[in-house]
Structure 1
Amino acid sequence: MGLFRGGRRALTGTLCLVLWLLGSGLFGAQAQTTTDSTSTNPRRAGSAPTQPVRNLNFDRNAPQTPAPAGEVNPGQPSVPGTLRKAAPSIRPDSAGLLADTSRRTRDSLNLVVLKRRSQVETAVKYAAKDSIQFDVNSKIAKLYNKATVDYGKMGLKAALITVNYGTNTVQAAGRRDTVKNKMEGTPVFRDEAGTYQAGAINYNFKSKKGKIAEVVTQQGEGYIHAEVVKKLPDNEFYGLHGRYTTCNLAHPHFYIEAGKMKVVPGQKVITGPFHMVIADVPLPIGLPFGYFPTPHNGRGSGFIIPTFGQGAQRGYSLTNGGYYWAPNDYIGVRLTGDIYAGQGDGFGGYGLASEVTYRKRYKYQGSFRFTFAQQSANLYNTAGVVGTDYTSPLKTNTFWVSWSHTPTPLPGGGVFSASVQAGSSSYNRVNTLNARQLLSATFSSTVSYSKTSRTLPINYTIQLAQSQNVQTGVMDFTLPNFNLGVARQYPYQWLGIQPSGKFYEQFAVSYNLVAQNRISSLVPARTLGGDIPLLGGNSTSYTIPVSFGNLGNLLRNAQNGAQHQFQITLPSAAVLNRHIQIQPSVNYGETWYAQRLNYEYKSAARAIEIDTITGLKGFSRAYSYSANLAATTNFYGLVQIKGDHYVKAIRHKVTPSLTYSFSPDLSNSSAFQTIQTSEFQDLRDAYGRFLDPRVFSRYQGFVYGTPTSSRVSQLGLSIQNSIEMKVRNSRDTTGTNPTKKVSLADGIDVSLAYNFAADSLRLSPLNLSYRVQVAKKLNVVFSSSFEFHQRDSTGRLLDRYLFNQSKIRLARLVAANLSLGYQFNPAAKPKSKANIPRAVAPSNDPTLGSPLSQAMYADYIDFDIPWEASVQYTASYTTASAPIRPTLIGVTPLLSGNAVTASGSVKLTPNLRLSTSLNFDFRAGTLVYPTVNFYRDLHCWQISGLWIPVGPYRGYNFTIAAKSSLLQDLKLNRNKTILNR
């Protein structure tokens, strides 16, 4: 037992020694010198130091330099005197057991606690460009010229750094350049809390406390300047005579000055009494304390200060005030509201808005916004605002919903997307100044999911759609729309036949299924065409108001069905030495409906009654099939011009195509019903045709319509032309590109058709179109339609050609459209996204309250283009255009559309830009929504303005504000628009 006890004590003593050796402090140094120093005790490149520089990293196997007299070798462990005796030798006794060499009078379990000589947790690495001076006695190292010190997560750069590894402190300062008379190499301190620029630094890397003079540091979007800062171990620091600003200049344009402030990095800045200073001018604007959130990552939650305003009709107001909640970096919720006091006894109204932004990395991102507005019924109910184009009245309660969901496509995965713009028809007329929303007559929304199978040649799409016309108030819903497609399949692949180039290998089959359920608020007029008497029904169309109370009426007005399409592609052939390509095809289709119409003649009323059959009895199918044969070829014409002329050659390409289509007579199928009665012998329709017998479609007005009842044997002709010429390149001076191509016509297309099986009006109208782009600036698009048949005094088509009348004419123009667009941009140069500056002060995002870089608005505020302008002219002609009143420029009775749109911008100075847009309607002789915008960049501030000089929306909006979203409430706004009258 005694032997065992002695062995245990020996092991205990050995363990104590090992623990002490492992717990010794480590201090590594590395020096980097490139320039000699004149110091009396420096370490220079290529010379030995005055005091020996010893290895300060303890290594029991490495030879150690003996320490000078009176100094403990820092490379050796420092232990108490009682423990610095030579370690006793341990030999086994005769029995093979260890001898007891560590017996003590005290209990062997009461071990001596060995403390580390240094509390430094890791090696301190330092370097300097000029020299490093060591004072071994005082344990001080001085680093000169571009000195750096790294200690774990702490880093320091300065012109002069003094490290005292006896007290674990480091001091840093800059040096003054006597030639330039300015400070150079001022300290830059870095730790896990941030980066600090200072005039002088005194820091203890053991306690992580320090004092920093003349500090400048960034916290979130803001910058903090202070005379003296006291830094604590938990990274909080206190500042004396501090300034808080979002201007990134050394001498900021504006700041909030406070005597004392406390900073919690990544969270907040708290100040005592403060006041505002702009351009070094103190303003009498201040508060007894200040609180500024400074989130490092993502957005921070907080209140949104409302904007105060006043209007002539709605009175005093507080707008855009509320709360922004950011639970994490992926979701943000903004809740705001508006309230108007009104004038007299009338309440001005209120508004509510909710917006949610979300994002999941590598998956999707999107935003959802819902707004509600309430205003007085007669607030905007003037003819100037409602306009003659609007038939729906203004409402007191309006709303608008916007939803955008964009997925990140992944191979083989489904894609869900959404783009929703819907709401009250009169919302945009009184709640926005956005030109696109204000002038748009229709809005559409889609929510869809699509996927392509990895193993099967199948793809499908499920879509929910909605469209509305804000002028008429008509809404259409497609709930849902399903599309299933099968890619083209070759039967020889099903049979496992290896391809050998045979003609039958070109046989291909494709399939497509489309099914939808459509609900419309418009109930169309039910007529049978012409003057056929109809019993019951509505002779005019009307609109059902969209509301939950009218849900039953809307569902009864729904139309649904499914359509199947099979296409069989037959082998193509090349004839006439492969100059003509012939392609046959066969199509078969079926349409399924859950209801059908039934016609019955009522002799008492001498009219026809229509009954809608639903349910199982109403289910029916309408089929159709057709065959097509197309022949296509190309002709080329080339004219080469010899000699030294500007035009070198002209080439003309012609692509004619003949298409023959055939479909049988399906009037005897179940899709049609024939009414036989002699009582209609004396009745004619609007075209003068007898009504007995008459074939009616059982699917009139249905979602997919009805197949063609009569036989079709039609031959179609289309000719496509393109003309271009080769001219001398006057800009080429090297001879590498002596010529260039110029387009005279990108497309001159002509098409018409003749139906051999029709009983009348066999020749279709002639369609002619022309398009060209001149000098990459002017875009010209023209289209027209010509008729070959005569019309009577009422405008009805007659089965007689124009060349058969007394005044011979070949064709008559019935419709034409012209569009001219020109882009002026003389100084435009290609610019890649990589050249867009990114290091720009963040701006205020009024919708999210989050910082957005100015680079995101490069498409709207481009300060690299001196000026630009664009002009767009559109005109429409139709013989059915109704005459209008005379205008200031004369009478234009045949033009259904005649307007010019112009927009332009000019950069007056590097930071000042003006832009304008206008739309003039020649038919009405009015200027439609002209606007003048200006923007002034003031580095950390910005000035923006909008002026609408004339029209029902005339007014102005002027704002000067700080760019940073952190100080988005620091702004001055003056406006008088339709939104706050």
Structure 2
Amino acid sequence: MFLLLLQFCILSSLSVSGQTRPRNAQSTPDTVRTTPQDTLSTALQDTVEIAPPPGDIATTIKYSARDSILFEVDRKVVHLYGNATVDYGTMSLKAAYIGINYDSTTLTAATLADTTGRQTGQPVFADGGQNYEAKRIVYNYKTRKGLISQVVTQQGEGYIHGEVVKRNENNEFSVFHAKYTTCNLEHPHFYINATKIKAIPNEKVMSGPFNLVFADIPLPVGFLFGLFPTPKDKRSSGIIVPTYGETRARGFSLSNGGFYLALNDYIGTSVTGSIYSLGGYQVSVNNAYFKRYSYQGNFNFSYDYFKNDEADVEGSRLSDYALPPSTRSFMLTWSHSPVVKPGRGRFTANVNFSSPLYTRLNVVSTSQYLSANISSSISYQKTIPNSPFSYGVTLRHSQTNGASNMNLVLPDMNFAMTQMSLYEIFTKNTPTGKWYENFTFGYSVNFNNSISNQIQSIPGTISAIPVNGSNITQVGVAGGPTQVDTVDFNFNNLGRLWNAGRRQANHNFSIGLGNYKVFRFFNLNPSVSYSETWVDRRYTYTSSPNYISSQPGVVAIDTAGFGRIYQYSAGASLSTNVYGTVQIRGKRVEAIRHVMRPSISYSYSPDYSNPSFNYYQTLQVSRDQITGEALYARLPRYANAPGGGLQSAMNFNITNQVEMKVKAKSDTAAAKFEKVSLIDNLSIGGAYNLAADSFKLSVINVSMNTKLFKMFNLNATSVFDPYQTVTTTLENGDTQTRTVDRYTWQGAGFKLPRMTRANLAVQASFNPAAQGSTTAPPQNLPALEPEMGNMPAYIDFKIPWTLSSDFTFWYQKSNTSTEFTITKTLGIQGSLNMTDKWKISGSGTYNFTDNNIAYANVSIHRDLHCWDMNISWIPFGYARGYNLTINARSSILQDLKLTRNRQGISYR
């Protein structure tokens, strides 16, 4: 009777899950006493809530099972069968079978055999963010120690396999007969085999003597100990393993080896160096910094000593591929970008500064190799909140790649006021729509100070504006031809560099007169412009006593002083849109639509060569009193003094767009028709100067761009000269061609204007799916070595192939001869996935004019699951060479790689 009553009480309290409260929990006693010999088995839908015997339980133990729960009251043991789960504080345990022993405060988890004899329900243990998968787990929830058999656990990007694992109360564990790998397969492709491994979660993994096993083949590669950092939320310092390589210029090398310093949560510094068997070395310091929601950047300095005691100095001057003699060079780069915040200034930096020979001796990328110039800029820009005003300061630098000429802007300051309505400024009222309320005003000023180490000395050659029909266009100033000196940037030359520098201020006044609708279909836009330029020097000229007809002499005097140029102009434009549609109603083509946008404008500017402006000085430079006069600019050339002659010009332009309406391939009502562009833009324009005494019509510019068959982008520009040319024979038998003031369509026979320049660019992409790929690259990929031709860190194997090309054609014809120049180049880029793991890509440029390959590159990528193989080959040019890299994909084992390269910067 007692046993029946006990069973009834327990069964009446069963539910899906059970809870065991701690001994000191404040709750109503709900235990049921039973004899030590009794046991009880529960069904699938049953649960139990029963307090344990007195023990050291810190919090509630929650448990559940799918199949059954068995209590052994006398032994204080609970057995859970089928998808068993136990939650105790931060610890969670899941397995096919779990046993809870309250006397020994242990949890035991194991697999169970199904009807076929296969073991299922592998135990999974989780605690403090760490997960463990094993065949058997024994865990003491009082001491927080455990013993795990045949375990697999993840530490950072790595996985640890072990036969036996012991876990202590600090969440540290020791693994015996262990394997460490970054391959996420149950049977990894490679692993580090060690007798014992100790792991401190979120910090590091340490091992004793180990060797590398690749494809189940033990390799004689290893070390006495191993240390693998696995930080979760912070970076750690460590050694950067150098890369083995070879170049013909420097011999064998160990490059980019050193130490990484994690200074704090915001800054990380790497100090690396390279040594070469033929002598020389390189030292680099790289600082990366990042502050969330504020800014990020990178600062790098590199010093290089190149040793070449056997250099052919004369040969190096004649050949682009010859090596220079021993030299020391450096490179400084800095990039800084802030997070844009409303109302706050924006400081940005993009600095790339180096010695002339550094980039030649240290080519690290294709873009650097093909770049003609390098430049830098540092700027600060800010818009004053709740006002139309903004200001900024910019420092700039530019230099020719591989050359010593350099230009600096120190600094470039600007202040601007955006255009505002004059009606609102003066009346403080809201516009009501009157025509005079459309008037606006804006202002900007730019102060510029530039210095160049390419100093052009005076005397030299100065451009002149001929007057009275003279053919004089430039006059040699007394002292001989122009001389350009290249000086070094140092303290001794500061005075000379400053005196030869350019200092100017440009003022621009933006005046808007609004736009108006006239005659219903036309838009009228009047305009007025005014600007001023201030400089700090002026020139005065005197003619030399002896005239020489071929090269008259002029003496120039450079006087420091304030110079001012002001310009103004006025005009108006009239434009409209004309639409035309032709109904075809064919099987596929429904209609063709033509949109034409003609515009005509008038502009006026005075004759700035008039003596009243004092921009030019008229000199008699030859004995001919009629044709021997010329105008010389009193201000420097960079002041952009306006040209002489009255400008009263009519400008015309017509743009065209042609579209075709076709039936859509889809039969849905929403997509019954679609538009296909035949010509995106066809523009024709020119000008006619009413005030000119000759050659009133300007050249005619024609441009067109369109897209054909959804894969060809076509851009074409051309320039047509409307005037005839006449060829005469000189006394010495030579011929001379000159342009005369007579249109090509005048005279006998009608002729179209002559094409003097033309440019055609065709770009094609034969795989539109590649452009529309939305696959995001995976995170935390290791950075590849910065060497020529390396593949990108992420390869999209979902695109089976890509192919694109670009063709450029340039034509130019001289007006004074029958000679013309043609330049043609063809570039091809493409990739092919031979399998889902192999990818071949390449690019090349062919110059038809020189009949040579300007640049070519072939790359092969192999996905080895947890490894990557990259092969790149540059067969031609100054940077020709190859690179082979096989490396582990994980950033933890990024130093586990094989590299073989040969760069050809020393070809002679």
TM-score (norm. length: structure 1): 0.81
2:726 maps to 1:726: no
| Alpha-carbon offset, residue 322 of structure 1 | 1.0
CA distance in 1, matches of 2:299, 2:221: 38
- 1:660-711: CA deviations, max 9, x gaps? 111123333455242455x74428xxxxx8243x432222322x42234432
Q: Secondary structure at the match of 1:628?
A: strand
Which segment is superposed worse, 530-539 or 917-926? 530-539
CA distance in 1, matches of 2:892, 2:876: 36
Cross-structure match for 1:8: none
Contact 1:43–1:133 (CA<8 Å) still a contact in 2?
no
Call closer, same or farther: CA 1:547–1:436 in 2, change over 3 Å.
farther
| Alpha-carbon offset, residue 400 of structure 1 | 3.0
Contact 2:866–2:889 (CA<8 Å) still a contact in 1?
yes
Which segment is superposed worse, 551-560 or 620-629? 551-560
Equivalent of 1:913, from 834, 839, 860? 839
| Alpha-carbon offset, residue 929 of structure 1 | 2.2
CA distance in 2, matches of 1:488, 1:141: 82
2:481 maps to 1:515: no
Contact 1:482–1:515 (CA<8 Å) still a contact in 2?
yes
CA distance in 1, matches of 2:112, 2:816: 85
Letter in 2 for 1:843: P
Contact 1:394–1:426 (CA<8 Å) still a contact in 2?
no
2:173 maps to 1:237: yes
| Alpha-carbon offset, residue 172 of structure 1 | 1.3
Equivalent of 2:81, from 144, 159, 173? 144
Call closer, same or farther: CA 1:954–1:568 in 2, change over 3 Å.
closer
| Alpha-carbon offset, residue 423 of structure 1 | 2.2
Equivalent of 2:720, from 786, 790, 802? 786
CA distance in 2, matches of 1:386, 1:177: 82
Letter in 2 for 1:836: A
Letter in 2 for 1:718: N
Call closer, same or farther: CA 1:696–1:807 in 2, change over 3 Å.
farther
Call closer, same or farther: CA 1:608–1:188 in 2, change over 3 Å.
same
CA distance in 1, matches of 2:138, 2:336: 52
Call closer, same or farther: CA 1:63–1:271 in 2, change over 3 Å.
closer
Equivalent of 1:624, from 567, 571, 589? 567
2:81 maps to 1:129: no
Cross-structure match for 1:608: 554
Q: Secondary structure at the match of 2:667?
A: coil
- 1:440-488: CA deviations, max 9, x gaps? 2123322222222221111223222222222654322222222322122
Letter in 2 for 1:706: A
CA distance in 2, matches of 1:963, 1:306: 17
Call closer, same or farther: CA 1:187–1:386 in 2, change over 3 Å.
farther
Contact 1:517–1:560 (CA<8 Å) still a contact in 2?
yes
Contact 2:19–2:61 (CA<8 Å) still a contact in 1?
no
1:927-942 matches, within 5 Å, as 927-942=853-868
| Alpha-carbon offset, residue 335 of structure 1 | 1.7
1:763-912 matches, within 5 Å, as 763-790=697-724, 797-803=739-745, 809-825=751-767, 828=770, 830-832=772-774, 836=776, 838=778, 842-846=781-785, 857-858=793-794, 861-880=795-814, 894-912=820-838
Equivalent of 1:572, from 506, 515, 525? 515
Q: Which has the larger radius of gyration?
A: 1
Equivalent of 1:746, from 668, 680, 683? 680
Contact 2:309–2:326 (CA<8 Å) still a contact in 1?
no
Call closer, same or farther: CA 1:927–1:224 in 2, change over 3 Å.
same
CA distance in 2, matches of 1:922, 1:755: 40
Cross-structure match for 1:715: 650
1:261-272 matches, within 5 Å, as 261-272=197-208
Cross-structure match for 2:90: 153
Letter in 2 for 1:817: N
CA distance in 2, matches of 1:428, 1:252: 42
Equivalent of 2:362, from 431, 440, 445? 431
Q: Secondary structure at the match of 2:834?
A: strand
More RCO (CA 8 Å, sep 6+): 2
TM-score (norm. length: structure 2): 0.87
CA distance in 2, matches of 1:881, 1:242: 82
1:614-763 matches, within 5 Å, as 614=560, 618-642=561-585, 644-666=586-608, 667-669=610-612, 671-675=614-618, 680-682=622-624, 690-692=627-629, 694-702=630-638, 704-729=639-664, 731-763=665-697
Call closer, same or farther: CA 1:762–1:191 in 2, change over 3 Å.
same
Letter in 2 for 1:962: A
Call closer, same or farther: CA 1:394–1:930 in 2, change over 3 Å.
farther
CA distance in 2, matches of 1:141, 1:634: 87
Contact 2:21–2:60 (CA<8 Å) still a contact in 1?
no
Q: Secondary structure at the match of 1:654?
A: strand
Call closer, same or farther: CA 1:156–1:549 in 2, change over 3 Å.
farther
Query: Identity rate of aligned residues, in percent?
Result: 38
Q: Secondary structure at the match of 1:965?
A: coil
2:189 maps to 1:253: yes
Call closer, same or farther: CA 1:837–1:439 in 2, change over 3 Å.
closer
Equivalent of 2:263, from 304, 323, 327? 327
Contact 1:916–1:931 (CA<8 Å) still a contact in 2?
yes
Cross-structure match for 2:162: 226
Cross-structure match for 1:93: none
Q: Secondary structure at the match of 1:238?
A: strand
CA distance in 2, matches of 1:534, 1:178: 106
CA distance in 2, matches of 1:263, 1:43: 48
1:102-113 matches, within 5 Å, as none
Cross-structure match for 1:37: none
Pairs aligned (count): 861
Note the residue ranges of structure 2 that are not aligned, 5 or more in a row. Answer: 1-5, 38-48, 465-472, 728-734
Contact 1:385–1:429 (CA<8 Å) still a contact in 2?
no
Contact 2:34–2:73 (CA<8 Å) still a contact in 1?
no
2:343 maps to 1:415: no
| Alpha-carbon offset, residue 787 of structure 1 | 1.4
CA distance in 2, matches of 1:593, 1:148: 84
Looking at secondary structure, tell me which structure has more strand per residue.
Answer: 2
2:439 maps to 1:499: no
| Alpha-carbon offset, residue 324 of structure 1 | 1.3
Which segment is superposed worse, 385-394 or 233-242? 385-394
CA distance in 2, matches of 1:178, 1:959: 50
| Alpha-carbon offset, residue 844 of structure 1 | 4.5
Call closer, same or farther: CA 1:555–1:537 in 2, change over 3 Å.
farther
Cross-structure match for 2:892: 966
Equivalent of 1:175, from 96, 106, 112? 112
Cross-structure match for 2:468: none
Letter in 1 for 2:431: P
CA distance in 2, matches of 1:153, 1:633: 74
Which segment is superposed worse, 809-818 or 419-428? 419-428
CA distance in 2, matches of 1:148, 1:266: 26
CA distance in 1, matches of 2:259, 2:357: 28
Contact 1:842–1:964 (CA<8 Å) still a contact in 2?
yes
1:128-527 matches, within 5 Å, as 128-179=65-116, 182-192=118-128, 194-311=130-247, 314-342=250-278, 347=279, 349-377=280-308, 396-432=327-363, 434-470=365-401, 473-494=404-425, 495-524=427-456, 526-527=461-462
CA distance in 2, matches of 1:537, 1:475: 25
Note the residue ranges of structure 1 that are not aligned, 5 or more in a row. Answer: 1-39, 79-116, 684-688, 849-853, 884-891
| Alpha-carbon offset, residue 201 of structure 1 | 1.3
Letter in 1 for 2:300: R
Q: Secondary structure at the match of 2:892?
A: helix
- 1:706-744: CA deviations, max 9, x gaps? 234432211111111111111233x22345423322222
Call closer, same or farther: CA 1:257–1:717 in 2, change over 3 Å.
same
- 1:157-216: CA deviations, max 9, x gaps? 22211122333221111223343x543222221222622222211111221111111121
Contact 1:366–1:404 (CA<8 Å) still a contact in 2?
yes
- 1:813-846: CA deviations, max 9, x gaps? 11111101111116548443xx5374x7843443
